[in-house]
């Protein structure tokens, strides 16, 4: 597995990480616990060193799974997790909105450390920017946690460029995590240039478009009621039918490269910047191996130009997230 450094930080990780959310939450019924542990450990055995979770995934259950799976090899891996939603730290009960008050961050961090079975969090993100708490206070709290040795690196998720700059002025940010893929290009206008200027790494979540870019989802696909894609605008029947043109193009490129559409989608991200580290998730071992095989798919400059020209002619149908979730992004 190739390695990449997140921006100008000291944090070096595998070129592809593992997004662990879907093992417990979000994409239908939770994976059997033993199978989830098997997937996480299989990723580590294949050279993955960056594992991504959050207190909100469950809540709490995904962090517990990751903690159990990685406990025996804790010092060989990088664990990233997130705070920021208004979750009762004792019961895990979800409350409305966000909560990044300094006192809440500190209590939440203690819970994360216990669930992850560790004495430090390698990379701690603010999951969403809380408009009720100045970003300088949040960054200052992370600075304190880093000084105490409970956190090693500070990150922001789904933050806008101005917020990134203000936070980075208080304490250096190691990574920004936002949705980014060949069909979700929002970070390109302002966030990626800010990362490049400030020396911050970028971690795209959902690099496979919540599975759509694999080519395994079409107009006949049905989603479980516990699968959040059932309510996503980009996954309505009409949107899926329209967006299949994107997948058809990926399939054409994949055939030329002797790869799969998923591998081309991840390879495209890896080719954008040397400090981008995608974190595809999966519940299947063969998909894990397919995703990791993306590092061997080389897209030359001429390939990237052809892809760009072709995709520019294909409009994406549907917003990437429902409005009630999208309102918390790019603040």
Cα-based torsion angle of the residue sequence 139, 64, 35, 277 in order, rounded to the nearest 10 degrees: 10
Token digits for 134? Answer: 């100045």
Q: Say which residue the tokens 């019961």 belong to.
A: 91
125 in catalytic set: no
| Residues 59/87, Cβ–Cβ less than 8 Å | yes
92-111 b/e with 16+ CB inside 10 Å = b? eeeeeebbbbeebbbebbeb
Annotated catalytic residue, options 57, 125, 154, 328: 57
Catalytic residue annotation:
57
């Amino acid at each position: 597995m190739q390695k990449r450094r997140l921006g100008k930080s000291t944090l070096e990780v595998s070129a592809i990480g593992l997004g662990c959310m879907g093992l417990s939450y979000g994409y239908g019924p939770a994976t059997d616990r033993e199978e989830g542990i098997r997937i996480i450990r299989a990723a580590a055995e294949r050279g993955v060193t960056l594992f991504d979770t959050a207190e909100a995934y469950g809540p709490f259950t995904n962090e517990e799974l990751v903690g159990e799976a990685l406990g025996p090899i804790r010092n060989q891996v990088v664990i990233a997790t997130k705070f920021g939603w208004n979750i009762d730290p004792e019961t895990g009960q979800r409350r409305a909105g966000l909560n990044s008050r300094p006192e809440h961050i500190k209590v939440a961090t203690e819970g994360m450390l216990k669930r992850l079975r560790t004495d430090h969090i390698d990379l701690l993100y603010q999951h969403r920017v809380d408009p009720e708490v100045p970003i300088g206070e949040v960054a200052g709290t992370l600075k304190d946690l880093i000084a105490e040795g409970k956190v090693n690196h500070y990150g922001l998720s789904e933050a806008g460029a101005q917020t990134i700059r203000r936070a980075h002025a208080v304490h250096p940010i190691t990574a920004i995590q936002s949705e980014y893929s060949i069909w979700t290009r929002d970070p390109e206008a302002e966030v990626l240039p800010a990362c490049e200027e400030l020396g911050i790494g970028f971690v795209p979540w959902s690099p496979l478009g919540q599975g759509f870019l694999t080519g395994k989802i079409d107009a006949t696909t049905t989603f479980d009621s516990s699968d959040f894609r059932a309510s996503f605008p980009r996954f309505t029947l009409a949107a899926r039918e329209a967006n299949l043109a994107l997948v058809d193009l990926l399939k054409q490129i994949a055939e030329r490269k002797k790869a799969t559409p998923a591998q081309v989608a991840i390879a495209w991200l890896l080719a954008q910047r040397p400090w981008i580290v995608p974190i595809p998730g999966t519940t299947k071992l063969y998909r894990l191996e397919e995703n990791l095989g993306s590092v061997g798919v080389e897209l030359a400059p001429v390939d990237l130009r052809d892809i760009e020209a072709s995709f520019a002619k294909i409009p994406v149908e549907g917003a990437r997230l429902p409005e009630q979730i999208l309102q918390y992004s790019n603040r």
